[in-house]
Amino acid sequence: MRSRDKLRSLQILARAGVDIPRTAFAKHPRDINHLIKQVGGTPLVIKLLEGTQGLGVVLAETKAAAKSVMEAFYGLNANILVQEFIAEAKGADIRAFVVDGQVVGAMKRQGIEGEFRSNLHRGGSGTAIKLNRNEKAAAVKAAKALGLVVAGVDMLQSERGPLVIEVNSSPGLEGIENATQKDIAGKIIEYIQDHIHTNDRKVKDKVGV
Ligand SMILES: Nc1ncnc2c1ncn2[C@@H]1O[C@H](COP(=O)(O)OP(=O)(O)OP(=O)(O)O)[C@@H](O)[C@H]1O
Ligand SMILES: [Mg+2]
């Protein structure tokens, strides 16, 4: 549940020392100028907290655009967060699939020409990628911070290293298995097989049988 909440999950990641893009949040429109300043000015990205599959993620190139989009969202009582735009990611992000503290597969998703969002649902395409040590460490740390054994960690490649934008607690298998040609589901099943007895014992201890 924590990972499904964009704001809460970013707070948890920041607290755990996972690098994320500069992000700000406020409930009231009087904070708009301050919000823009907090993330270092424009261009910036505005995200609907309840958005998904790239819908509700808006790139505002100028301060005037940022203000009017934010005012529109606030007018609809929508919860938004504002984020520094990582231009050097060039419309791509990385999905690292973590199982039991290890990256078992990773792909780079590239958005279509002229699109900054890399979501496969927005026409983006995924290809296998080998992560460097920092990227692997960031993915593992992010999954751990949210207490997830299975996680899809999304990162942007920035000038200051990998920045985590999102951790998915029920990541899809099709895209990553197609891109990497790896049996990711098999890794999850292996984990369950190896741990089912210990978990069973813990449950029994809890209910006192
Ligand atoms: N700060 C940013 N700078 C540059 N590009 C970004 C930034 N944040 C997001 N993006 C791009 O936009 C895409 C969508 O953003 P994000 O993953 O945050 O929302 P979403 O995909 O709508 O949410 P969900 O993954 O929960 O469905 C990302 O995959 C990435 O390519
Ligand atoms: Mg996403």
Q: What is the pLDDT of residue 26?
A: 85
Q: In this structure, which residue's CA is closest to atom 13 in ligand 1?
A: 117
Pick the CATH number of 89-202 from 3.40.50.300, 2.60.40.10, 3.40.50.1980, 3.30.470.20: 3.30.470.20
C-alpha–C-alpha distance, residues 83 and 44, integer Å? 6
Which of 17-31, 142-156, 194-208 has the weakest average pLDDT? 194-208
Ligand 1 surroundings by CB, under 6 angstroms: 21, 45, 47, 51-54, 56-57, 83-86, 89, 93, 116-119, 154, 156, 165-166
DSSP run (H or E) holding 192: helix 184-207
Q: In this structure, which residue's CA is closest to atom 15 in ligand 1?
A: 54
pLDDT 10s digits, 12-49: 999 999 999 999 998 887 879 999 999 999 999 999 99
Q: Are strands 55-60 and 92-99 parallel, antiparallel or unpaired?
A: unpaired
CATH 3.30.470.20 domain span(s) along the chain: 89-202
Q: At what angle do helices 133-145 and 6-15 cross, to 10 degrees?
A: 110
Taking the whole predicted model, whether its pTM rises above 0.75 is answered as: yes
CATH 3.30.1490.20 domain span(s) along the chain: 22-85
Report which ligand 1 atom has the smallest distance to the Cα of 4: 26
The domain defined by 22-85 folds into: Dna Ligase; domain 1 (3.30.1490)
Q: 107: pLDDT confidence band, cut at 50, 70 and 90?
A: very high
Nearest ligand by distance to the CA of 119: 1
Helix (H, G, I), strand (E, B) or coil at 17: coil
C-alpha–C-alpha distance, residues 33 and 67, integer Å? 8
